[in-house]
Amino acid sequence: MARRRECPNCKKLARELANVKKRLAALEAELRRGHRQATPFSRDKPKDNPKKPGRKKGKGTFSRRKPPPKKETETVNVLLDRCPHCGGPLTEKKTHEHIQTDLPLPQPTHTRFVNESGWCAKCKRRVRSRHPDQASTASGAAGTSVGPNAKAVAADLHHRLGIPYAKVAEHLKVTAGLDVTSGALCQAGERLAAQLAPVYDGLVAAIREACAAHADETGWRIGTLSAWLWVFTSRHITIYVVDESRSHDVVVRVLGHDFKGTLVGDCFLAYDHKDFADWIKQKCVTHLLKDLKKMEAEKTRGAVRFPKSVKQLLQDALALRDAKPALTERQFKVRLGKIERRLDYLIAESRNFSDPDNARFAKRLRKQREHLFTFLTRDGVEPTNNRAERDLRPAVVVRKTGGCNKSEQGAKAHAVNSSILVTARKNGVNPVGYISDILLAPPGVPLPLPLPAGARASP
């Protein structure tokens, strides 16, 4: 029986159908990710041999297994005279130690301050005494107030950890028996922002002197109006700004016209404004690699060569960054020159790209050409914008749980308070203790946030 010949056109159509099905599955997966409300708990393509989570057996410093001796406040001997199951006598007894660390159930303290006032003939005004632990000297109808520690805890829970004021009030009621309304906590947060305004301005002045500043933004709302929450961060400083604009004006307002450091960000148009033509910039390599990985998965045949080549080039640049300390200056310049020549060839305007996505990406790289390898030539500059994105994630939690802000005054208070709290935590300062000290400080007495030496010039 003669063997039936398969039609060449049928083979071609079968291959094209398989490619279409593959791309359709990828697009459906991307669509599901776009509609997903919760954080994905798995990757699109799991690893073949994932590492087992947790500490490896027999490894670790075990530094937290026992508290310091000074913190052991009570020892309880639990005796065992007979078997708890049958009541029989016991022999060969041994002792076993177990240390339990717990929290005491807090109880609110009520302090009654009896102040004195008198008329000063020299100042021509009535003055009043004030105790160092007294946050307010109000009397009469306003003679009862929430103390500085409770206000500090509430501010940290709301502005840094993203818990709504209603839940903060409920938490204080359940855990400490403190009866306070969400409205009172909100008003306390706005008054706190007014006290922290000079500290906030000091952080803005400090980040303008940093050798590198990372910037990013995300959607926000003020009442029913759209707005944007910006973050500007360095190793020691984090500044949040809530603004109705997503333009370059916000960047200028925070970093100033004469910023001498490196602006690290993505390829958003606001960072490429003509006012920043003389600025030193670094575009996030991770964003580029992510886009190239997506293109590599979608393209076929010759169209996949371009994203593969550019992806390998950026990975070689990251490898050169890691190898730089072990290279001589001449060796480093030779390897950097090779990488730059490879990039110039891949994105050359004279190249004829048959795939439109490859042509658009090459045009994007030509536009950002001088901002791709700044991390290789300037010390302290990171190749990615992960630092800003990490500081932006808590704000996204606040957006989901708290619904952003209802007024411009609340938006400003949130930007100021969250900036101080996050910066304090970043520098190892207890944010609750610092806010409590701010609330107890006499009016007009500045209490700057303690930053480490060199914070202004550090990345």
Residue-wise pLDDT for 305-329, tens only, equals 999 999 999 999 999 999 999 999 9
Q: Among the three residues 328, 358, 383, which one is the final residue of a domain in this structure?
A: 383
* 333 lies in the same domain as 421: no
Q: Decide if 200 is inside a domain.
A: yes
Q: Decide if 404 is inside a domain.
A: yes
CB 314 within 8 A of CB 289: yes
Instruction: Report the alpha-carbon distance of residue 253 to residue 212 in Å, rounded.
Output: 16
Instruction: Report the alpha-carbon distance of residue 307 to residue 72 in Å, rounded.
Output: 60
Q: Decide if 193 is inside a domain.
A: yes
* 360 lies in the same domain as 426: no
Angle between helices 285-298 and 8-35 (to 10 degrees): 140
* 332 lies in the same domain as 418: no
Q: Among the three residues 328, 353, 383, which one is the final residue of a domain in this structure?
A: 383
Quick one: pLDDT at residue 155? 94
Structural domains counted in the chain? 2
* 372 lies in the same domain as 405: no
413 Cβ neighbours under 8 A, 6+ residues apart: 189, 190, 192, 193
Which residues of the chain carry a pLDDT beneath 50? 457-459
How many CA atoms lie within 13 Å of 342's alpha carbon, on the beta-carbon side?
17
Nearest to 189 by CA among 218, 160, 210, 217: 160
Q: Which residue has the tokens 């890691």?
A: 322
Quick one: pLDDT at residue 444? 73
Query: Backbone phi, then psi, for 317, in 5-degree steps?
Result: -65, -40
Quick one: pLDDT at residue 457? 47
Quick one: pLDDT at residue 456? 53
* 240 lies in the same domain as 307: no
Q: Decide if 417 is inside a domain.
A: yes
Instruction: Report the alpha-carbon distance of residue 325 to residue 33 in Å, rounded.
Output: 40
* 413 lies in the same domain as 339: no
* 439 lies in the same domain as 377: no
Q: Decide if 55 is inside a domain.
A: no
Quick one: pLDDT at residue 133? 85
Query: pTM for the full model?
Result: 0.81
* 303 lies in the same domain as 244: no
Q: What residue numbers bound the domain in which 310 lies?
A: 285-383
Residue-wise pLDDT for 353-364, tens only, equals 888 999 999 999
CA 59, 63, 64: angle at the middle one, nearest 5?
A: 110
Instruction: Report the alpha-carbon distance of residue 234 to residue 169 in Å, rounded.
Output: 33
Quick one: pLDDT at residue 283? 95
